[in-house]
Structure 1
Amino acid sequence: MMTTSSWYQSTTMSSRHIPMSDSTDILPTSSGGTGGGGGLDDSQQSIQQQQQQQLDINMDCLNIVEMTEELKKKLDQLKAGLESNNMLVILDAITNVRSMTMLGGLNNSSNGMSSSNSNSNTNGNSNGNGVGNGGGNNGLSHSKKISLEIIDTIVQTGLISRLVALLSLDSPALLFEVIWTLTSITRASVDYATIVVNSGAIPPLIRIMVNSEDDVMEQSLFALGTIAESSPMFRDALLHQTEVLSLLVGLLTQQPTKRLGVLRCVMWTLSTLCGGKPYPSFERLRPLLPLLYNILASAKDQQILGEALMCLSYMTRGNNQEISIVATSFDFVPRILDCMNVSTDKCILTPAIRTFGNIVAGDHNVTMLAMSYNPLPTIYRLLQNNDASIRKEMSWIVSNIVVGGPELIQRVVDANIMPIIVNSLQYDDYAIKKECLWIISNLIEYGNEDQIRYLVELGCIQSIGQMMCQDLELVVLATFNNIITRCPVDSKRYIEMIKECGALVYFENRVKSDEGQLSISSKEVLMNFFNATIFASSRDTDS
């Protein structure tokens, strides 16, 4: 049997891999045709499209000019009110300014907040409004361009610090409007968020968060969450104020009679403090674990439950020690599996699956703990979910389970999961095929001969052969290498099967193309197995 070569060891992926970010939404497309024989030809359609685009640009410019002029009048009114300290004038002006910032979907009301924080993922921050940091306007609708132009105009007046100063006043109506306006500005770009933070907005927002009417409290929570979401630096600045987490936890545990919208906003704010890259300090977040467990055990509201699961998914993406603390400190695993079994709502299902997957991706003891709750029937069912993103996450989980060795692999085999995997490798979406290839690669590396033989009988060699493409060539080659080396009794038959799927010709061409490591690795496998087999066959014939 050939020893495992260094190139293969460097190619083999650690099973504790984190999947790519969540799949991107696919925008619907329009055919643009009119049908029948009376439709416009391509050149006519192109002219009409260019005319419409120019009309849209003209309308954009006209609306932006009109709205900017109106805004300047309101900002002048706001300045006059501030100079004269006339609260009625200030309130009227700031209400109009806030209304203008809401155009184009830059609405900061927490009622529009997604329970699963769908515009961000576990791998990074997003400002949640489709506007990239830096304020670029390319590709935005004219109404969003107007919103950004309005916000830019407000920032350029230098009024931000004066708006922040208004947070010290005891006027709920005024505080509500001022905080909403500051949140709109923060949400527009990280540069604007920096101006708001540097103007001293965080301390008064924390004070207002716990000492105000529900409407104002809710808006201040949303403002703080938006600040945390805009930049890891601001998130960490909030976490380093030790009272912030305790105050948020207190709002949920000591004032459970608060309006549901407030409690939802508290949980969303907590999830923004747990998210982002680089990851926040686990030790600062660790005091949240009792609260999160209680929510998983008793929460009736789906949005609050979804945000709690988001927090856990963030807290289990770090090192093995941190994952172990979460998995063993409380009885989280069965609660998470309950969510995976009962809920069909993606705001629950997605973070529950991600959290369970992160736990399975911990060290061997944590993986065994997770497996002790018999998750395989749940995994079997969700691998056949209609949602491709869920199938992809579940495949990633299986790829981490099979690294546990023959015992765990046999449990996966007995659960009849591998036929689904081989079928998905052949017919499913490409992103899912990649995860399934890693499942098979890991199983072949860590399984025994009987388990590898079972996989081959399911048709895995033919399915693997379909994955010979640019970004997976080394993985495919390493997997074929392992099939041959780990099953010496069946190696000749497997070599013929690999030839039949076209791999021999493919990798011979790669050797000829001389493309670095792939060429070297392909040559090694071809020399050790395929040429040796040909030589042996000719010698047998001569005899």
Structure 2
Amino acid sequence: MSEGRHKHFKNRGRDQAEMRRRRTDVTIELRKNKKEEQLLKKRHIPLDIQTSVVTDLSSYTLLDITKKARHIDIDQKLEGIQLVRKILSKGRNPPIDELISVGLVPVLVECLRHEHPTLQFEAAWALTNIASGSSEQTATVVFCGDGPKFRDLVIEAGIIPPLLTLIADSTPASLLQNVTWTISNLCRNKNPPPNFDLVSVALPSLAELIQHPVLEVQVDACWALSFLADGNTKQIQAVIDSGVVPKIVPLLGVLENKIVMPALRTLGNIVTGSDEQTQVVLDNGILPHLCNLLQHPRPSIVREAVWTLSNITAGNQVQVQMVIDAHLIPPLIQILMHGNFKTQKEAAWAISNLTVGGSAEQVVYVVQQGCIGPMCIMLGSEDPMVIQVILDGLGNILKMAGHDYRVIADAIEEVGGVERIEALQEHQNQEIYKMAYFIIDRYFNDTNTEDKQLAPQSMDATGYQFSTSSLPGGFKF
């Protein structure tokens, strides 16, 4: 997650804008989790021109091929690059790792800049075949030559309008797949992102393509939308205004994981926006789908669903109540208890965010569903950010309890939470130390006066302040 998350833990409380988080996932992970889910990774490309001058591979060693590919003589270099291409195009398990290990990928990328068209073609073909391998193999190609610089050059040259003219009912499905995939790649990469004004012209077409009967077209259109929605509120609003939300939400209910993930990512990015933008997604019925996705067999989808939910619980109290009414809190707490760590981390954010903006009654409900135990267990995490999130949530619950804080304190003590919090006073992270010290001193220090216990101040001597809503009356259990 982006720096928006890290802004949660300042010496002053969080506001809702800070609670909205941005992803900074490695771009290649968005599309390349499994080889079989890739659309256009073609190992065998139809060849329209005669380029092959090498037919027998058996007489060449890898060292021979590498020397030829690196040769200063253009004919020798061409022969070497053709050998690389033929090796990669032959058989079910080409020696991609071996070719990478001898440093041929940078050589191939350099050939793309050469003035010799046949050399360029052979190198591009070989790179395509390497990119058709595993995520790690694809990443090698990406890091050697791909990037926003070349993407922006293509966009600024005006590629998108001509591509959009190819989107028509008469366009063959295979060509449409290529067009959609290309648009998707032009929209991705956040460091820096593409010029939104230039790529957003594709939004109306993408809004139609997500309903195309060919699944692969839907998938790439949805990924493109997820990239476009991964930005500021202006960008998010442009995506909403294209009318895609009512079309994307139903995709969460299909059986194909390859469409569920980009659909969920798109909606998840939208709910990182304002409360009004989040409400659009809620009004279109995302919550029942999230309830189902929390039980999904694929961990990455569960994690994505919980991340989306955590940004909804960062909203206003009406939105928090919608989450509660959709019966999403019990499965969320189950994930906090039993999920894998990455998903537990998102669940911790969801609960902590709720304690910031939720009403007293809403926080009481979450406590009654059993959040205290798993929150205290997660204090044993080695991830400092997770510890901060949990301490922030517990601190908010204790403060919001007001005169009834002892009920929460007892619950924390019963599950061994006090010992964990005390131990965190020795933590090397200063924020964790201050947060733990504040909780122990304010709520578990028997030497404090009764008045101090019943009316805890919002800030300690160190200047630390937990995020709270000022609510009179406290808890009623």
Task: Decide: shared fold, TM above 0.5.
Answer: yes
Residue of structure 2 equivalent to 1:64 = 62
Judging changes above 3 Å, is the alpha-carbon distance between structure 1 residues 252 and 268 closer, same or farther for their aligned structure 2 residues?
A: same
2:11 equivalent among 7, 15, 18:
7
Residue of structure 2 equivalent to 1:113 = none
Residue of structure 2 equivalent to 1:350 = 261
Judging changes above 3 Å, is the alpha-carbon distance between structure 1 residues 310 and 186 closer, same or farther for their aligned structure 2 residues?
A: same
1:512-536 per-residue CA deviation (whole Å, 9 max, x = no partner) reads: 4565232222222222221158754
1:219-267 per-residue CA deviation (whole Å, 9 max, x = no partner) reads: xxxxxx989981110001111112x1111111223xx544432221111
Deviation at 1:326, TM superposition (A): 1.0
Deviation at 1:285, TM superposition (A): 0.8
1:315-351 per-residue CA deviation (whole Å, 9 max, x = no partner) reads: 00010111011112x221111012112x222221111
- Equivalent runs, 1:250-329 vs 2, <5 Å: 250-253=165-168, 256-278=169-191, 279-297=193-211, 299-328=212-241
The answer as to whether partners of 2:271 and 2:311 remain within 8 angstroms in 1 is yes
Residue of structure 2 equivalent to 1:397 = 308
How far, CA to CA, are the matches of 1:144 and 1:226 in structure 2?
Answer: 13
1:336 equivalent among 248, 258, 270:
248
Residue of structure 2 equivalent to 1:162 = 115
One-letter code aligned to 2:423: N
Secondary structure of 1:300's aligned partner: coil
Residue of structure 1 equivalent to 2:57 = none
Judging changes above 3 Å, is the alpha-carbon distance between structure 1 residues 96 and 495 closer, same or farther for their aligned structure 2 residues?
A: closer
Residue of structure 1 equivalent to 2:149 = 233
Deviation at 1:95, TM superposition (A): 6.3
1:39-61 per-residue CA deviation (whole Å, 9 max, x = no partner) reads: xxxxxxxxxxxxxxxxxxxxxxx
Residue of structure 2 equivalent to 1:17 = 21
The answer as to whether partners of 1:7 and 1:521 remain within 8 angstroms in 2 is no
Secondary structure of 2:13's aligned partner: helix
1:446 equivalent among 357, 369, 372:
357
Residue of structure 2 equivalent to 1:220 = none
Judging changes above 3 Å, is the alpha-carbon distance between structure 1 residues 178 and 513 closer, same or farther for their aligned structure 2 residues?
A: closer
The answer as to whether partners of 2:249 and 2:285 remain within 8 angstroms in 1 is no
How far, CA to CA, are the matches of 2:80 and 2:97 in structure 1?
Answer: 26
Judging changes above 3 Å, is the alpha-carbon distance between structure 1 residues 400 and 270 closer, same or farther for their aligned structure 2 residues?
A: same
Judging changes above 3 Å, is the alpha-carbon distance between structure 1 residues 159 and 411 closer, same or farther for their aligned structure 2 residues?
A: closer
1:505 equivalent among 419, 425, 449:
419
2:394 equivalent among 468, 475, 480:
480
How far, CA to CA, are the matches of 1:26 and 1:517 in structure 2?
Answer: 39
How far, CA to CA, are the matches of 2:199 and 2:324 in structure 1?
Answer: 38
1:248 aligns with 2:248: no
The answer as to whether partners of 2:81 and 2:122 remain within 8 angstroms in 1 is no
Residue of structure 2 equivalent to 1:362 = 273
Judging changes above 3 Å, is the alpha-carbon distance between structure 1 residues 229 and 367 closer, same or farther for their aligned structure 2 residues?
A: farther
The answer as to whether partners of 1:228 and 1:273 remain within 8 angstroms in 2 is no
How far, CA to CA, are the matches of 1:444 and 1:326 in structure 2?
Answer: 30
- Structure 2: gaps (5+ residues): 1-8, 36-59, 132-140, 454-477
The answer as to whether partners of 1:16 and 1:361 remain within 8 angstroms in 2 is yes
One-letter code aligned to 1:266: V
The answer as to whether partners of 2:352 and 2:393 remain within 8 angstroms in 1 is yes
Deviation at 1:413, TM superposition (A): 0.9
How far, CA to CA, are the matches of 2:302 and 2:162 in structure 1?
Answer: 38
1:99 aligns with 2:86: yes
- Equivalent runs, 1:427-466 vs 2, <5 Å: 427-466=338-377
Return 520-529 or 5-14, whichever deviates more. 5-14
The answer as to whether partners of 2:335 and 2:343 remain within 8 angstroms in 1 is yes
1:84-114 per-residue CA deviation (whole Å, 9 max, x = no partner) reads: xxxxxx9x9986664245469999xxxxxxx
Deviation at 1:188, TM superposition (A): 7.0
One-letter code aligned to 1:142: E
Greater C-alpha radius of gyration = 1
One-letter code aligned to 2:190: K
One-letter code aligned to 1:99: K
Judging changes above 3 Å, is the alpha-carbon distance between structure 1 residues 535 and 249 closer, same or farther for their aligned structure 2 residues?
A: same
Per the normalisation by structure 2, the TM-score is 0.74
The answer as to whether partners of 1:492 and 1:533 remain within 8 angstroms in 2 is no
Judging changes above 3 Å, is the alpha-carbon distance between structure 1 residues 496 and 152 closer, same or farther for their aligned structure 2 residues?
A: closer
How far, CA to CA, are the matches of 1:72 and 1:459 in structure 2?
Answer: 64
Per the normalisation by structure 1, the TM-score is 0.66
Deviation at 1:452, TM superposition (A): 1.1
Secondary structure of 1:531's aligned partner: coil
How far, CA to CA, are the matches of 1:321 and 1:8 in structure 2?
Answer: 27
One-letter code aligned to 2:160: L
Judging changes above 3 Å, is the alpha-carbon distance between structure 1 residues 68 and 529 closer, same or farther for their aligned structure 2 residues?
A: closer
One-letter code aligned to 1:293: A
The answer as to whether partners of 1:473 and 1:518 remain within 8 angstroms in 2 is yes
Judging changes above 3 Å, is the alpha-carbon distance between structure 1 residues 514 and 281 closer, same or farther for their aligned structure 2 residues?
A: closer
How far, CA to CA, are the matches of 2:372 and 2:447 in structure 1?
Answer: 18
How far, CA to CA, are the matches of 2:282 and 2:355 in structure 1?
Answer: 20
- Equivalent runs, 1:50-61 vs 2, <5 Å: none
Quick one: percent identity of the two aligned structures? 24
Deviation at 1:79, TM superposition (A): 3.5
Deviation at 1:277, TM superposition (A): 2.4
